Structure 1
């Protein structure tokens, strides 16, 4: 169920500014989610055309971050919000930064897919990209949904999923190292896969960061650097 955690004011303009900043941030999130999805698709299909499109769209993500963050700065300067309104503006601003970083990582995956296509690719190891990519993609979607609905239990689940992604990432990297040892001719291609997996793992980290912003926004507790058990206590408490 969607919660409404920020105050409603006599000034309808203030309400409109808060709602607009949140809406634009979520629209940017939708673009970044598509960037991640398209980067994975380009990698899986060695689609250089799609990969180049992902890289070009990164500028749009960067521009949106600057525009919306400036909007948040103006709200802080003009309205001097307090309590839940202040948390909302700060959470939006911090989320913008995580989304921009996700866009950067998607662009890196796209560039590695181009390099892999130019090398002719390898016959295996795409399974790791697909599996972890699907997992991370779900985390990004759920983190944005949690923000849209002010849903701290869903945000907690995103944070919990990040631990599983880290485990999957470690397993995949060990498998790829073994493959390189068995077939040294594959080293160039496997390195592109490993760097792409690293970018996916980082996207998962940023999704967790957004989840932490949601918990801060809804529960009023800063859970950055907190263990999962501490986060669970804050959300369920």
Structure 2
């Protein structure tokens, strides 16, 4: 059997280290975004503007990691010209990084709305609906990142299907708040703030589902973005 040259082994080891560095940065970015969302939601539910400011300030670190990961991925694509599984890993990483950055943007929006609620007052029923949807979204984001880190296809497929539950809860909450606006026009500012928060949470759920889709792309080489629920189930059955 022909042995690989020391130079080829060196290049292979360096390439593996580069991929591992990107992966570590992506997981760090995921952790920061999770913290952003948690702080923004806690700020909303507790009326704590300082927590909201913390969530907003974290966006600088999230954006810096996004730039770093993009630069690393571009360098790998240009210099290493990866093929097959390595190429899918780099492409999936780029897409997940974009989703994480957009989740961070939604956390900033929630934080700003939370600050406005500390000034305008809060609604108990609206807060309960935020708490319910936020719990589902936080769990979905955490599980999406875990499934990506561990390449758990079944967990990823389940998450994609669960996004419909969040969409339904959002629509129900939006309909309730719309009725509140008509019934209590004096509470318009507060109701609109909650609507914005709920919309941001619904979008976070969408981005978490996108991350789960990349797990299936990475492991199966299949783009499931436009497949129906039955087709997604068939992929992992």
TM-score, normalised with respect to structure 2: 0.93
> Is 1:173 the counterpart of 2:168 in the alignment?
no
Task: Give structure 2 stretches of 5+ with no counterpart.
Answer: 1-7
- CA displacement 1:110-130 (0-9 Å, x = unmatched): 000101111122343101110
Matches within 5 A, 1:78-157: 78-157=79-158
- CA displacement 1:89-123 (0-9 Å, x = unmatched): 10001100000000000000000010111112234
The RMSD of aligned alpha carbons is 1.1
Q: Contact 2:35/2:55 (CA < 8 Å) preserved in 1?
A: no
Q: Contact 1:215/1:235 (CA < 8 Å) preserved in 2?
A: no
Matches within 5 A, 1:199-218: 199-218=200-219
Query: How far off is 1:157 after superposition?
Result: 1.2
Structure 1 runs of 4+ off > 4 angstroms?
none
Query: How far off is 1:235 after superposition?
Result: 2.5
Query: How far off is 1:59 after superposition?
Result: 1.3
Query: How far off is 1:28 after superposition?
Result: 0.4
Query: How far off is 1:192 after superposition?
Result: 0.1
Moved more, 119-128 or 56-65: 119-128
Q: Contact 1:221/1:234 (CA < 8 Å) preserved in 2?
A: no
How many residues were matched structurally?
Answer: 228
Q: CA–CA distance in 1 between the matches of 2:124 and 2:146?
A: 36
- CA displacement 1:34-81 (0-9 Å, x = unmatched): 111111000001111110111111111111101111101111111111
Alignment-derived partner of residue 23 in structure 1: 24
Query: How far off is 1:186 after superposition?
Result: 1.1
Between Structure 1 and Structure 2, whose CA radius of gyration is higher? Answer: 2
Alignment-derived partner of residue 221 in structure 1: 222
